[in-house]
Structure 1
Amino acid sequence: MAAATLSTVPRSSPPPRSLLPIMASASSSSADPKLSRSGHGLRLPELREESLSSLEVVGARRSLLTRFASLQPPYKRFPFLGWNRHVETIFAAFFRSLPRVALRRECLRTRDDGTVALDWVSGDEQQLPFDSPVLILLPGLTGGSDDTYVRHMLVRARNRGWRVVVFNSRGCADSPVTTPQFYSASFTEDLCQVVDHVSTRYPKSNIYAVGWSLGANILVRYLGQESRNCPLSGAVSLCNPFNLVIADEDFHKGFNNVYDRALARALRKIYKKHALLFEGLGGEYNIPMAANARSVREFDEGLTRVSFGFKSVDDYYFNSSSSSSIENVCTPLLCIQAANDPIAPSRGIPREEIKGNPHCLLIVTPQGGHLGWVAGEEAPFGAPWTDPVVMEFLEHLDNENSDGSKSSKNILLDGVPQTSPSLSVHIQ
């Protein structure tokens, strides 16, 4: 089976777009030697409960994690970096290696005449079996397929024989904007159409999704919204802010202002590329405020909350929080958070809701920053600690579903079954 064509280069200069997406990274180009995948099963070692002692684990299916080889070593931060959440976050953003992968872009027109861009690994339509599992990647705010954390996860999954596609939201990674609307933390319609599109194209494949930061919030909202009708077979949420009201409160404190200004700058840049589409909008829109926003909150006040029909920014944040969606999730879901995340505060994690849902599992690491996780065998310049865990979880689900049924959304995390028009271009 052919692997994705790639090379890896170190990051030695600031990344091209927002600070939030670059504050993440994902997996490495090499397959995990501890995990063997065959057509009908994974051979997982039986590990001791003590292997989880360095982590906070919430969920009725905690015992599943004791079988994961990726969780056998205790979580141990990398020397000189893990002592401070901002140091770890920024180091991962600027110095983690960058996999190079040839991608094929497909522009998908949505029902409201908007456009999103789907980036597939070039050549996989010929190289992979038609029924290979499919993984949809959802980047963070203003992020896309050219961000390091997305590329790492893409390469790891592809090297395990998975078909991978990056969902670039409207305006992100040069995704076309064809209507005066971007996207928001509450908007799941584009994701719904992307999942339907992928499912129609690959009807014999199991489909999974991984979301980071704001992408994780959108993903969890989608899972709760679709509930038992969700076509996804499993999902992973990484550094999800969960409670956007709490996240907004912390976003304006101390050093967090650096992230806030960087994200506002990235949002302004996307807006200015498409400013003509927004000319003449009246009503509650405050286009000058959005165009000159110095904070994410200002951009949301001037444009986002009005576009999606919210009375105020606080109303938007409250009603867009994915914490309220957890109780309705019926798809196997793994959430991984860092206790010291400056952007997705630990106090916003819906621990009780996750504990009460047998489909959900939560891992909280003691350090990690915002999608830094500079720990594990590939630290400090390689993939973050989370990537092998994510891949092992997804392969566990796909193994449980290897009997040929299309959806594993009714398989609990311990494997006990329950009720059960586009344009393509090539980019580098």
Structure 2
Amino acid sequence: MDWYTDWPRTLVGLSLGAGCLIYYLLDAAKVPVLACRRGAWRGFLEQHLNILQERYWPTPWCYESRCQTIMASMLRARLPDIAYRRELLELKDGGQVCLDWLDDGLEAEEGHPIVIILPGLTGSSQSEYVKSFVLSVKDSAARCVVFNNRGRGGVQLKTARTYCAANSDDLEEAIEHIKRLHPKAPLMATGISLGGMILGNYLVTRQERAAEHLVAAMVLSIPWNVFVGTEESGEALVEPAAEPPPGQLSV
């Protein structure tokens, strides 16, 4: 059947294709938004990161954000488990965290940088998104170590205390431990979701001490304001109670 003999379907197909193209050009492909107040830091970013001035062109066959999330999860699920070198770090209060290292062939070389990766709330060194980060670090010829929180990564929780975004004591002990092992290695850290909040807490509360240990840090997928986010989530989850029928009391 030729296209001109079935013109209604052809017209619908062309309309859908044109609509997708217009959406891609006007909404999907954009210049990144730099959420940073005016000042020296923003000027530094704009001067040295040319990518912030360029238009971002997402993958044409998967440019919608929700589709990208689903597709990324499906592709990363195919990643095999990574054979880490495990180190259990005993903490000052009797707890322990697990440091999983991927530094094959680099153990004896002190010049290579070390990247610490902090997983999210329920993540560990074998989580799909963590493995993708680890393999990227490996390709850059750097050491990588995944910081597994208390009770995560298959390690027994030895204390009543767990972990939260408002406390970075465990991370501080781990960073100081790694720095003692490799004093000459440049140390960097990346935190995703809750891991990014813990890393941000460490940077803000330790300040100069953190700057002495880390040469760079990056946080990903964290709330802009966790308190406002919590309030919004609570309002969305709690429905207003219905008015009681006449003659009845509400409890």
TM-score if structure 1 supplies the norm length? 0.43
The residue aligned with 1:235 is: 217
Q: Is the 8 A contact 1:104 1:120 kept in 2?
A: yes
**Cα shift at 1:172:** 1.4
Q: Percent identity?
A: 32
**Gap regions ≥5 residues in structure 2:** 1-28, 37-41, 238-251
1:146 paired residue among 90, 108, 126 = 126
The residue aligned with 2:152 is: 172
**Gap regions ≥5 residues in structure 1:** 1-51, 258-428
Matched, 1:137 2:136: no
The residue aligned with 1:201 is: 181
The residue aligned with 1:55 is: 32
Number of equivalenced pairs: 199
The residue aligned with 1:293 is: none
| CA–CA distance in structure 1, aligned partners of residues 106 and 32 of structure 2 | 40
| CA–CA distance in structure 2, aligned partners of residues 151 and 253 of structure 1 | 35
Q: Is the 8 A contact 1:209 1:232 kept in 2?
A: yes
Q: Is the 8 A contact 2:113 2:187 kept in 1?
A: yes
Q: Name the SS of the counterpart of 1:60 in structure 2.
A: helix
* Cα deviation digits, residues 321-374 of structure 1 (max 9, x gap): xxxxxxxxxxxxxxxxxxxxxxxxxxxxxxxxxxxxxxxxxxxxxxxxxxxxxx
Q: Is the 8 A contact 2:103 2:144 kept in 1?
A: no
Q: Name the SS of the counterpart of 1:170 in structure 2.
A: coil
1:189 paired residue among 165, 169, 172 = 169
1:112 paired residue among 88, 93, 114 = 93
Q: Is the 8 A contact 2:118 2:148 kept in 1?
A: yes
Q: Name the SS of the counterpart of 1:101 in structure 2.
A: coil
| CA–CA distance in structure 1, aligned partners of residues 141 and 80 of structure 2 | 17
Structure 1 pair 60–176 and aligned structure 2 pair: CA distance change class (3 A): farther
The residue aligned with 2:198 is: 218
Q: Is the 8 A contact 2:82 2:126 kept in 1?
A: no
Read off the aligned partner of 1:140 and give its amino acid letter.
G
| CA–CA distance in structure 2, aligned partners of residues 187 and 147 of structure 1 | 23
CA RMSD of aligned residues (A): 2.5
| CA–CA distance in structure 2, aligned partners of residues 187 and 193 of structure 1 | 12
More helix by share: 2
Read off the aligned partner of 1:65 and give its amino acid letter.
L
**Cα shift at 1:205:** 0.8
| CA–CA distance in structure 1, aligned partners of residues 70 and 233 of structure 2 | 16
Q: Name the SS of the counterpart of 1:174 in structure 2.
A: coil
**Cα shift at 1:88:** 3.3
Matched, 1:65 2:46: no
Q: Name the SS of the counterpart of 2:207 in structure 1.
A: helix
Q: Is the 8 A contact 1:99 1:155 kept in 2?
A: no
Q: Name the SS of the counterpart of 1:63 in structure 2.
A: helix
Q: Name the SS of the counterpart of 1:98 in structure 2.
A: coil
Q: Work out which of the two has the higher radius of gyration on C-alpha atoms and give 1 or 2.
A: 2
2:138 paired residue among 149, 154, 158 = 158
1:76 paired residue among 57, 70, 79 = 57
Q: RCO (CA 8 Å, sep 6+): is it higher in 1 or 2?
A: 1
TM-score if structure 2 supplies the norm length? 0.71
